[in-house]
Structure 1
Amino acid sequence: MTEPTILHAVFTALPEKGEEVAALLRDFAEVVRAEEGNVLFDATRLVDDPDRFFVYEVYRDDAAFQAHISAPAGIPFNAALQQLIVEPASVLTFLRRI
């Protein structure tokens, strides 16, 4: 059995862009959750700092994750997100179940 691909992404909205990031993320979440290999896509904001976003993602396996990152919807999402966040891109951390 293959291992799932698990990761989290973090990023910070530019000043006054938090609601725009949240809306963009809500729309993208619906698209990702419909992908065949997506197991979980949970987008959240930090309670103490609502401009900080935390996204937890689980894909069936690496092939499903590769399909996700090459899906057409990701290109406009990432381009729009890049204009709204402090970091040059989402900071990704890959995880492994224990």
Structure 2
Amino acid sequence: AAARPYARKNAPLLICDEPTSALDPRAEQAAYDRIRELATDRTVILITHRLGSTQHADRIIVLDHGRILEEGTHNSLLHADGEYAAMWTTQARAYTTAPVP
């Protein structure tokens, strides 16, 4: 339900503002699968703080106080070693250092 678009079926633009913020990991995956389906032949703007969801984006724009700080693909931004790379590393570290029962 969180990722359900509130637009016409054939709208050329889909804006998703934190579409999975209240979902568990399985529901989040299902929501992003649905967003990818809906992305066919339209522009999708995904606003998120969960950087794992940005990996497949054609273009990522990093904003800081309303100004564009960086833009590019996931890989190009990681290689640029700027703010996106720092945020990605911080989030990834939370998953890789967590003890597994």
Larger proportion of strand: 1
TM-score under structure 1 normalisation? 0.26
Larger proportion of helix: 2
- The structure having more radius of gyration, on CA atoms, is 2
TM-score under structure 2 normalisation? 0.26
